[in-house]
Amino acid sequence: MSVALHRRYNHQNIKLNILGVDIDEALIKRANDSLINNDTTGKQSDIAGDNAKDTKQDVIVKDNTKGEISDKVTEKAASSAGGIKFVHADVMSDEGIAQVQDYLKSQDVQKFDMIFLFSVSMWIHLHHGDSGLSRLLEICSRISRYTLLEPQPWKCYQTAARRMRKLSLPEFPNFSEIKLRGENLYPGVLDLARSHNMEVEKEFGQTKWNRKLILFESVEK
């Protein structure tokens, strides 16, 4: 997705800077290797947009489908190609947020234009509870103008919990204490977002996984 976005804007002569963040170090390495080796992204000169005449502010793309949450943030020099950069970080930690804020400073901007959160919120919720989900939305509101969120439905939470039991692994630390569950989950997410000055700009139907996409705008109060 990062490359597709970059190419789309590049073809319109608009320079787009993208920061991809994930807690899974293996996924970040694979993404950076792809940029370096040009396996799936095409030539670097095509990605770089050397002829771009306009500059659009940064986009952060975060996609964590494995849900492996770690308290340790590895400080690494991530590969960068033509405005696309992938870094390994846990955004729920102070160190992870510092990495993101350092990137914003390096681009001389205060906020991202948009944050994409695909298949992420459930894992944050399971590992950090209702307060963690609230913190995630607060962070998005603070550092981005818009946030596109794909919240997983409650049945996905139940499936994840069953998988842990089948594998004889410990239960998610905050699963039993989550109050935003069942039919209260979706409206609860909207209420949390509004509490952090995020207004629903648009709701986009459903993905092929029967999940809604919600576009939030961060507003100043």
Whole-model pTM: value is 0.76
- The pLDDT value recorded for residue 11 is 57
Alpha helices by DSSP H, listed for the chain, are 2-10, 25-37, 44-48, 94-106, 121-143, 154-166, 185-195
Q: Which two tokens stand for residue 220?
A: 């100043």
Give me the number of domains the chain comprises. Answer: 2
- The pLDDT value recorded for residue 70 is 33
- Domain limits for position 127: 111-221
Model confidence pLDDT, tens digit, residues 165-176? 999 999 998 999
Single-letter residue type at 68: E
Report helix, strand or coil for 142: helix
Residue 122 confidence class, pLDDT cut points 50, 70, 90: very high
Residue at a domain's end among 61, 81, 110 = 110
Tell me, yes or no, whether 207 and 119 share the same domain. Answer: yes
